[in-house]
Chains A and B, each alone.
Chain A
């Protein structure tokens, strides 16, 4: 279904009524599952993700190929539920897109976690996608950060992610094109967008994924908006963690 992007320029409001620099409603919970070492549940608009962390645990010796060495091995398994999309569709684990997201997340967290503290061990992140409406990779990264914090695995800083897009892909209305923050599924299908993740409050970009074409001139604007959005996301995630922290402190004082 093509998105009628022409309406944006009339009122400068997007399909769901947001302005260009507004995030969707972002809510999260941590410690949702008692059996896991760390777990979290995150909603970005209608995208809903659950993350559970197992580990750091002893590496499973599979086929004599011992993983590890002197650093912990971060493994990511993404499971896209059949009912998550508009139409019911089963995606196998060998799906190329899923595998790419898995490696992206695994690489990002092997950089930010202090993996050298856990030699010969694995940290398994299993991510379940319950409902998808755009910004999937960003939601997965944010949920993983929260679950890893819940599991108590030391890290440099939060990895916070969000998406940024641009209103027009044609050169004709170059001046009028606006960058957009946090795209939903309809916008993702129509507009060029990128997923950016930064390390904490800094401007250090740890993940940058872009699969669509865009003019090079627009990239800087999109990136600036994305990095700015990541800072907003960090604030929200930080509040979730702090809220959990105060709850634990209060419980321990009784």
Chain B
């Protein structure tokens, strides 16, 4: 992602160095006094637009706001030229029960969706439609949604028809901080609130739907006894030295050494063993869907000038080439240097671990979002 697309933070090298030092302390001190895993408060509501199948709005504390509207249309599936049942030619068992199992398996196989059944678009005010920022954000969000191949299966109606889902994401404010988590959480809520009309026709007939909206079915059905699957969320995680920081503000991103976008999904699982449920209530079946490193905006910040290179402090000024070579070896505390190079594997593993672990951040966020739809 081109970091130039996000707004540049206007901080001097001295301020950047101060921020960087305070974030690399143990325990680190964040500019707004949060702890490492603490998120900023947000306002969220769902089902705000009656003209859509599902919609949501989230307002972050820094004033950024997004609205997502989802519309579904019935579309004719392209005929597939795959020969029916070519997998189980070899075995020829005429056991009745086995036949039944195999038929349902085949059915499940056919209920596979295509990625093109989902269309996602991101609109950011002041940016062109084909701007790299909105294209990249849309790609990243749809990547997380389609990663496990489970989602498009929900759009399957019968062998001839399927739902086409249009997810339109509007960012209403200027992209103050990196808007990916905001858009992801809003999309999550909108998908959760999405309802499709109830199917009345059977098998491969032309689809006929119940026109009672009250009878409509949720795209993500809610079950009370078991944990049901949930749409993915994408979180932004950054690191300064060995400190892993969640929900970074734009000032913190300006000194980040590593920025990761981690997409997490929740799979449905049946009844969990009764013994496990006693103390924790219930556990979430989290899985990692995608990880992307994001070029941090800190790379574009202006570097500080050490005393040795500053004529005002008795140093000798060097030419630009000399400065850049000398800067390579420089490691002076208190002089801001934009981070160079990539991230350590160990650090990345630790960051992912911290998102996924039980009682970790992803679980906390999912719990928080669950409270929204109930309220």
Which of the residues A50, A82, A90 comes within 8 Å of B172, measured between beta carbons? A50
By beta carbon, the residue of chain B nearest A34 is B63
Q: Is A93 an interface residue (CB 8 A)?
A: yes
- Contact: A88 with B67, CB < 8 Å? no
Q: Is B85 an interface residue (CB 8 A)?
A: no
Chain B residue numbers with a CB within 8 Å of A83 are 49, 51-52, 55, 69-71, 166, 168
B-contacting 9-mer, from A125-133, A151-159, A215-223, A228-236: A125-133
Known: A48-B49, A81-B168, A128-B170. A90 touches B121 (CB 8 A): yes
The distance in angstroms between the C-alpha atoms of A71 and B175, with both chains bound, is 28
Q: Is B59 an interface residue (CB 8 A)?
A: yes
Q: Is B50 an interface residue (CB 8 A)?
A: yes
- Contact: B173 with A35, CB < 8 Å? yes
Q: Is B65 an interface residue (CB 8 A)?
A: yes
- Contact: A92 with B129, CB < 8 Å? yes
Q: Is A59 an interface residue (CB 8 A)?
A: no
Q: Is A86 an interface residue (CB 8 A)?
A: yes
Q: Is A52 an interface residue (CB 8 A)?
A: yes
CB distance from A106 to the nearest CB of B (A): 16
Q: Is B73 an interface residue (CB 8 A)?
A: yes
- Contact: A35 with B174, CB < 8 Å? yes
CB distance from B48 to the nearest CB of A (A): 8
- Contact: A88 with B73, CB < 8 Å? yes
Q: Is A101 an interface residue (CB 8 A)?
A: no
- Contact: A84 with B170, CB < 8 Å? no
Q: Is A177 an interface residue (CB 8 A)?
A: no
Contact with B along A113-134 (1 / 0, CB 8 A): 0000000000000101011000
CB distance from B351 to the nearest CB of A (A): 28
Known: A82-B166, A131-B49, A131-B51. A35 touches B71 (CB 8 A): no
Chain A residue numbers with a CB within 8 Å of B166 are 82-83, 88
Chain A residue numbers with a CB within 8 Å of B123 are 79, 81
Residues B157-188 near A (CB distance < 8 A) = 166, 168, 170, 172-174, 176
Chain A residue numbers with a CB within 8 Å of B99 are none
Q: Is A77 an interface residue (CB 8 A)?
A: yes
- Contact: A52 with B70, CB < 8 Å? no
- Contact: B69 with A35, CB < 8 Å? no
CB distance from B62 to the nearest CB of A (A): 7
Q: Which 5 A-B pairs have the closest CB atoms?
A: A35-B63, A83-B69, A34-B63, A88-B71, A82-B168
Q: Which residues of A contact B (CB under 8 A)?
A: 33-36, 46, 48, 50, 52, 54, 77, 79, 81-88, 90, 92-93, 126, 128, 130-131
A-B contact pairs, 14 of them (CB 8 A): A35-B64, A35-B174, A79-B125, A81-B170, A82-B71, A83-B52, A84-B69, A86-B51, A88-B73, A128-B170, A128-B172, A130-B49, A130-B67, A131-B49
Known contacts A35-B176, A79-B123, A79-B170; 7 additional CB pairs below 8 A are A33-B172, A36-B63, A52-B125, A81-B168, A81-B170, A83-B166, A87-B73
Q: Which residues of B contact A (CB under 8 A)?
A: 49-52, 55, 59, 62-65, 67, 69-71, 73, 121, 123, 125-126, 129, 166, 168, 170, 172-174, 176
